[in-house]
Structure 1
Amino acid sequence: MPVVSPTGSVSRSRSKAPDRRAAIARSRELAILSARSCDDFRGKDTLVLDVSHITPLFDYFVITTGTNPRQIRAIADGVEATMKEHGSPRQSVDGRDSGNWIVQDYGDVVLHVFTPEGRSQYDLEGLWGDAKRVDW
């Protein structure tokens, strides 16, 4: 944001880095809360990937596996409630009717819930192999 000095000159703020670091920290907190919610609904092999250094589109992926379509929906609904409670409502969703996967976009955090077959097929861990794994 431009800053106007008393003399009328305009300067830009020096750096957005502190704001970006704070945003990534907030995203990390939300991703970890999402992973814990997946765990509460018995999601298997849940992991959090930090992709903030790979893409400017989002900061974290949360990936988990459900055993059947009903559990996949329950996990997704549980994460949605958690995220909404913490001020991050869902922006979009896809795959709810597929029975194989659901993806929910929360801005800087993206949730992927798969059946074991779907997780193997899409192989996000391999596709985003440069991502850092977050111990949650």
Structure 2
Amino acid sequence: MRSRSTSDPEAIREFAIEIARTLSESKCSDVILLDVRGRSQVCDYVVIASGTSQRQMRSSAQEIEDIGKARDQHPYRTNSDESTTWVVVDFVDIVTHLFEPDQRLYYDLELLHADGKRVDWSRPEGSRPAPRAPRAAATDSDA
């Protein structure tokens, strides 16, 4: 039976970010992470990415499964269509979709989850954007 985990919400978020980063490092493109808590009855986070080949998508799926197992977050299910144009790795709290680009456009899961909040996974955990340099004050010679 599919049941939500009792994991700490911050740990789930960190795992979702790790999945997104791993897919990006695996050369998947257009990786997005959506926070759908309170908007979806199925999961808390959705990760969507495009792969360039069946082999890449399968190996990327295996890599995030291995990361999940190392975190004691075993996938509930992993499915792919017959020709591997769409791979789903379901960790219950986080569902990851890997598509070939044409299939991604066709199914348009971004539209389905349009009310989800995008999560910026590109910055290292705990880091903040660099502070802006102070603007130089205008002097009489600038006028």
Question: Could you state the TM-score of these two structures normalised by the residue count of structure 1?
Answer: 0.80
Tell me if structure 2 keeps the 8 A contact 1:43–1:65. yes
Amino acid at match of 2:11: R
Match of 1:103 in 2: 88
**4+ residue segments displaced more than 6 Å:** none
- Number of aligned pairs? 116
CA distance in 2, matches of 1:26, 1:130: 23
Is 1:52 matched up with 2:37?
yes
Which has the larger strand fraction?
A: 1
State the Cα deviation string for residues 91-111 of structure 1 (Å, max 9, x = none): 111115332110011010011
Match of 1:9 in 2: none
SS of 2:20's partner is helix
How far is the alpha carbon of 1:36 from its aligned partner? 1.2
> In the alignment, is the contact (CA less than 8 A) between 1:24 and 1:59 conserved in 2?
no
Give per-residue Cα distances to partners, 1:30-59, cap 9 Å, x unaligned.
Answer: 100111110121110111000112023210
User: Equivalent residue for 2:20?
Assistant: 35
Q: C-alpha root-mean-square deviation of aligned residues, in Å?
A: 1.5
Alpha-carbon shift at residue 121 of structure 1 (Å): 0.9
Larger radius of gyration: 2
Q: Which residues of structure 1 form unaligned runs of 5+?
A: 1-19
Structure 2: 5+ residue runs without aligned partners?
1-5, 122-143
Q: State the percentage of identical aligned residues.
A: 37
CA contact (8 A) 1:37 1:82 kept: no
**Contact (CA 8 Å) 1:63, 1:113: kept in 2 or not?**
yes
Partner residue in 2 for 1:90? 75
Inter-partner Cα distance in structure 1 for 2:33 and 2:107: 16
1:25 is matched with which residue: 2, 10, 13? 10
Structure with more of its chain in helix, by fraction: 1
Number of the residue aligned with 1:73: 58
Does 2:46 align with 1:61? yes
